[in-house]
Amino acid sequence: MAYEFKIDKFEGPLDLLLQMVEQEHLAISEVSLAEITDQYLEYLEHEKNIPKDELADFLVVAARLLLIKSRILLPSVALELDESGLSLEEQLRMYKRFADAAKRIEAAIKLKRFMFTREKAPIQPGMFSPPRGLLAARLAVVMREIIKAIEPVVRFPKAAVERAVSIQEKISELHGLLKVQGSMSFHSFVRAARSRTEVVVSFLALLELVKQRLVSVEQEELFQDISMDHISSGADTAARATA
């Protein structure tokens, strides 16, 4: 069966603009676009077959061309345009790349220099076709060599995993001790800490209790021990009076 291929011709304001640039043998730049502004406007004035739904695109390009020409003719006047996307020059360069690629594809199709491929058939699970002469003993040797080679990569250092210290646990522990004892020093609270992490978490717990106005602290001098006092609430006072 014979197949026919057709690539639609690009049509629109950028196509017209590119044709004018190529006909004048100009490089795509703002200077070149300024030189063909009058030709573009003349085309719009005399062309009656521009589709109405595309006319806005042609007018947008015309407005940008007029701005480019005005900038070049009046360089001392500050003329600005809000272009959130690509500039007209960048759009035209990109359009030219696509148009050139389309021409190359169309030429290749006409010369029938193309081919279609099918996806590789999937391998059926459980199928294995070893080369001739391969023995099970050789497979075992190769497998041991592979495991030995990757062992240093996947081996993890053996280390004891410390139990994570929860700040919520420390807040409850410190608050409970202060409610019972009334006051104590921070040094005495962290004396039994098993790591620096636990000391840090204990200090954060103290800060949280101070923030919640459940504990008051005092430090006489810099780097001295911190004295902690429990702030009694109304409920605590009533409980002690009942007791």
Kindly report the number of other CB atoms within 10 A of residue 13's CB atom.
25
pLDDT of residue 210: 92
Alpha carbon distances (Å) from 31 to 73, 83, 90, 99, 215: 10, 18, 13, 22, 75
The token pair at 41 is: 């406007």
From the number of C-beta atoms within 10 Å of its C-beta (0-12, 13-18, 19+), residue 43 rates as middle
With CA atoms as reference, report the closest residue to 174 among 234, 213, 214.
214
With CA atoms as reference, report the closest residue to 227 among 180, 182, 172, 183.
183
pLDDT of residue 226: 92
pLDDT of residue 209: 92
From the number of C-beta atoms within 10 Å of its C-beta (0-12, 13-18, 19+), residue 170 rates as buried
The secondary structure of 97-130 as a DSSP string is HHHHHHHHHHHHHHTT------PPPPPPTT---P
| Domains delineated in the chain | 13-110 (no CATH), 167-235 (1.10.10.580)
pLDDT of residue 214: 92
pLDDT of residue 222: 83
pLDDT of residue 241: 40
33 CA to centre of own chain? 37
Whole-prediction pTM: 0.37
What are the mean pLDDT values of the chain's consecutive 10-residue runs (243 residues total)? 43 76 77 82 81 79 82 69 67 84 82 70 66 84 84 57 72 91 91 86 91 91 89 56 41
Residue environment code for 176-195, b if the CB has 16+ CB neighbours within 10 A, otherwise e: ebbeeeeebebeebbeeeee
